[in-house]
Amino acid sequence: MHSLYNCTYAPKCFNSYDTYDEWIAHEETAHAPHPEIYFCGEIVDDGYRVEQCNAGFRDQYDFAEHLQENHDMHLSSAFELDSHAVGPRTQNFWCGFCKSVVDVASGDQEAWAMERFAHIEEHFLGRDGPRMAIANWVPIFMVATEEEFR
Ligand SMILES: [Zn+2]
Ligand SMILES: [Zn+2]
Ligand SMILES: [Zn+2]
């Protein structure tokens, strides 16, 4: 039997849990979800076309990894990363079941985290639509570009 609560850092992590508390404890400690979404602002010139990259990432670590792998840039500090991003956009989170960025009204990190977990739990439980499994989760880097959310 599959556990109901799945880590939303798929495809990097496929841990799953039977209870809400175990699930959020795992995400908080293993991944430290953060209310920032980065959109890559790098200009790509392949000798044929010049385009802005625009790929979306839900935290600075994924964005840093993308810059390294795709643009051969090795940056680590938040300040440096910010200067290569469009954004960062704060006070929202990526929902891979809705396939969209969800706005969060309230302010602090704790409130943001609870709102995010509560939103995603609704999908796992199928309270407001079909019950979702992590196989249905679409990672932000697969679909998001900054233009879609401007
Ligand atoms: Zn995980
Ligand atoms: Zn890029
Ligand atoms: Zn959602």
- Count: domains in the chain: 2
What per-residue confidence (pLDDT) applies to 150?
43
Asked whether residue 53 carries a pLDDT value surpassing 60, the answer given is yes
Same domain as 60, residue 14 = no
What per-residue confidence (pLDDT) applies to 18?
95
User: Over the stretch 87-136, which tens digit does the pLDDT of each residue have?
Assistant: 556 678 889 999 888 888 767 888 889 999 999 999 999 998 899 999 89
Same domain as 27, residue 67 = no
The residues placing their C-beta within 5 Å of ligand 2, an ion, are 40, 42, 53, 55
Peptide bond connecting 139 to the previous residue in cis, omega within 30 degrees of 0: no
Nearest to 120 by CA among 144, 92, 97, 143: 97
**Whole-Å CA distances, 43 to 53, 54, 87:** 6, 9, 15
Same domain as 100, residue 55 = no
Domain with 55, as residue range(s), is 36-89
Phi-psi region at 103: left, alpha or beta (left = phi > 0; alpha = psi -120 to 50):
beta
Same domain as 29, residue 96 = yes
Q: Which ligand is nearest to the CA of 41?
A: 2
Asked whether residue 67 carries a pLDDT value surpassing 60, the answer given is yes
Same domain as 64, residue 50 = yes
Same domain as 70, residue 85 = yes
Same domain as 23, residue 69 = no
Same domain as 63, residue 43 = yes
Q: Which ligand is nearest to the CA of 30?
A: 1
User: Over the stretch 9-34, which tens digit does the pLDDT of each residue have?
Assistant: 887 889 999 999 999 999 999 988 87
pTM: 0.72
What per-residue confidence (pLDDT) applies to 6?
94
Same domain as 65, residue 25 = no
117: tokens are 């977990």
